[in-house]
Amino acid sequence: EAQVTQNPRYLITVTGKKLTVTCSQNMNHEYMSWYRQDPGLGLRQIYYSMNVEVTDKGDVPEGYKVSRKEKRNFPLILESPSPNQTSLYFCASSTGGDYGYTFGSGTRLTVV
Amino acid sequence: AQSVTQLDSHVSVSEGTPVLLRCNYSSSYSPSLFWYVQHPNKGLQLLLKYTSAATLVKGINGFEAEFKKSETSFHLTKPSAHMSDAAEYFCVVRHFNYGQNFVFGPGTRLSVLP
């Protein structure tokens, strides 16, 4: 089944403790993105990648890192999480152009 | 810069009545526009998309949207609401010159009353 898989689905952590949210897609898509969803704000792009080793900032990149060492994987790293990063995070992949994104099921992160 | 306005944060309809979810966009270029749906505690699913072909676009589950350039609108409609349509709906414009940055509107929550 074609899908984007994120892990974990739920995560509670403490301020300052580094964490990684994994994302993997099995569709051989070039493009991958991370979004965060907050009430009343819709989804905002954090980082995106156009291919292996090619990444760029989205609209809200502060406090986040990404890497794209393999085409299928695009982990999101929070080196020193803070409470304002409490949010619902979505990973997505796309072939590019106007095909739209396929989204993962989301990771609900709480930073206390 | 591209942006999206969804005029209603919440729309409530009775089952069997028409649905109208409004979306206006701002884009410096000829845009690509999408509607996504998010059911409670689920990911996002693509409903339909406009990519400069036909201005009336048909999507899944009986939804349609019409691209009106003169009004910079891309409203989502359905003739008859079903209980299963209750969800959050996002209008999205593709940022043409910025990789695959899809700019999302704030969302409209659709409630369907029995």
Average pLDDT of the residues in B99-104: 76
pLDDT reading at B96 higher than 80 = no
pLDDT for B10: 96
Task: Give the number of other Cβ atoms within 10 Å of residue B19's Cβ.
Answer: 19
- Interchain pair A103, B43: CB under 8 A: yes
pLDDT for B99: 60
pLDDT for A42: 86
Q: Chain A partners of B43 at a C-beta cutoff of 8 Å?
A: 90, 103-106
pLDDT for B97: 58
Residues counted in chain B: 114
Candidates A50, A98, A105; nearest CB to B43: A105
| Measured distance CA(A72)–CA(B75) in Å, rounded | 35
Prior bond of A8 cis (ω within 30°): yes
- What mean pLDDT value characterizes chain B? 90
pLDDT for B25: 92
Candidates B43, B101, B106; nearest CB to A104: B43
Candidates B9, B42, B102; nearest CB to A101: B102
- Interchain pair B43, A90: CB under 8 A: yes
pLDDT for B52: 74
- Interchain pair B99, A98: CB under 8 A: no
pLDDT reading at B1 higher than 60 = yes
- Interchain pair A48, B100: CB under 8 A: yes
Average pLDDT of the residues in A82-86: 97
Q: Chain A partners of B49 at a C-beta cutoff of 8 Å?
A: 98, 100
pLDDT for A98: 74
Shortest alpha-carbon distance between residue B87 and chain A (Å): 14
Confidence band (pLDDT; 50, 70, 90) for B90? Answer: very high
Residue B46 touches chain A, beta carbons under 8 Å = yes
Q: What is the pLDDT of residues B26-42, one digit of tens each?
A: 877 778 899 999 998 78
Asked whether A107 and A89 are in contact (CB, 8 A), the reply is yes
pLDDT for B102: 84
pLDDT for B77: 98
Average pLDDT of the residues in A50-74: 94
Asked whether A23 and A4 are in contact (CB, 8 A), the reply is yes
Q: What is the pLDDT of residues A7-54, one digit of tens each?
A: 999 999 999 999 999 999 999 999 999 999 998 888 999 999 989 999
